[in-house]
Amino acid sequence: KSASPSRRSSSRSKAATSAPRSPSPAPSTSEASPHCFIFEAPLPPSCLLTPSGASNIASHAYKAGGSTTFDDFMNPYWNSWVSHLPHWMAPNLVTTLGGSFCLLSYALVMYHSPSLDSAVPPWVFLVCGFNTWAYYTLDCLDGKQARRTGTSSPLGQLFDHGVDCLGNISHFTAIGAALAAGPTRLALAGQVSLQFSFFVAQWQEYHLRSLPHKFGELGVTEVNHLQALTLAAFGAFGLAGYDTAGAMNTAVLSNGMKANECVIIGWIVLNVVLICISLNMTVVQTSNYKSLLHLFSPLLACLPVLILPPGCLSVNFGLVSACTGLLFGYVTNKMIVFSMARMTYGTLQPDVLAILAAACASRGPLTEYGATVLWRAAVCWQLCRFVAWSRGAIKQLCARLGVRCFRIEYKKE
């Protein structure tokens, strides 16, 4: 996903074709729209899901939007390519392999330009363009691999969209480096708008039981391929001796703004439009105004864009970006799980308060070194929280469904 937040239905029918052990009856309609509370009900330390929540996930059926013309064009190729995957390869392993391409892109960009303002070798953008295409292609093949091997389960949707949460960080940093966006509030706002848009898509599924995939003929497939081509073009022109990033950063338009600033603003506007469409469908058309309470925590997570002083942001942009991305990944991943489990999602997610505290402390009498240490600690904390919560949820789901996350276990004859 780049600016659009979901998965095509043919690739994500892993969840829809699940056959778990002893499935519970489908929840009633009233359970599909849980009431909003400030905090979630406390659970035992070893449990992240209630027994009824785990049963709801076991009987969960994924429902996505329709396909675009380009989806229909690509589908025969995806069907052909999936036949080349080995039968022993678990669908979640395919998803993880796709996520590793995003991780490689992120590592390359952060190594060469941690603040998105340094020169990046053109070949890096070529690699990032290929990685974006490879990531999305494998993302479309994992569900097909699940049906091909007879290992469909609701765990697939959780794992798939959980990887997408982190992939968003890679998508923006690659584009930000190509634009030479720099360590600015505008650049951080561009990342936050993308991740907030992705959260809103999961929030929409939580309340409407349907995940948006496209708006008209613009969908996830189009956006990801467009981003891959854009990055490849930056790399190709750079290899030809044309400094594309530098040109975007120095070109001044008639309105006095730089070209790269205009592109980022356009990026933000696109995400705001997608958010408004989801708000209209989820809140206005259904008169479910109480659902807005679930947007409180992600809105708080956006405040560092306004709170952080420019000096701190210029020195620690990479750390702030990583911490913000991991936080959005955590709260979004939790929304995905709670949507499938039909559990009540708390209005206030306490982890958001940690990044707000770090942002407020950065405005205080901290030295430059002190602020760097603070944000390094914040990144480590948020990474541990994301990994621990995701690992716990996956472990509990695997036990409930009787499946392995990365291994296919065939029954012996």
Which amino acid appears at position 224 of this protein?
N
Distance CA 140, CA 85 (A): 13
Which of the residues 60, 161, 171, 294 is marked catalytic?
161
**Cα(105)–Cα(111) distance, integer angstroms:** 10
In which residue are the tokens 């706002």 written? 189
Of 209, 104, 92, whose CA–CA distance to 146 is shortest?
Answer: 92
Q: Return d(Cα 180, Cα 259) in angstroms, integer.
A: 10
Residue 206 to residue 340: CA distance in whole angstroms: 8
Alpha-carbon gap, residue 252 to 205, rounded angstroms: 42
User: Do 354 and 378 contact (CB within 8 A), yes or no?
Assistant: yes
Would you list the DSSP string of 150-202?
T---THHHHHHHHHHHHHHHHHHHHHHHHTT--SSHHHHHHHHHHHHHHHHHH
Largest CA distance in the chain: 73
Answer for the pair 309, 362: CB distance below 8 angstroms, yes or no.
yes
Please say if 207 is a catalytic residue. Answer: no
Q: Which residues of 52-68 are buried (b: 16+ CB within 10 A; e: fewer)?
A: ebbbbbbebebebbebb
Q: Which residues of 320-359 are buried (b: 16+ CB within 10 A; e: fewer)?
A: bbbbbbbbbbbbbbbbbbbbbbbbbbbbebebbebbeebb
CA atoms of 393 and 395, how far apart (whole Å)? 5
Helix (H) or strand (E) segment spanning residue 214: strand 214-215
CA–CA distance, 238 with 280 (Å, rounded to integer): 42
Catalytic annotation, residues: 161
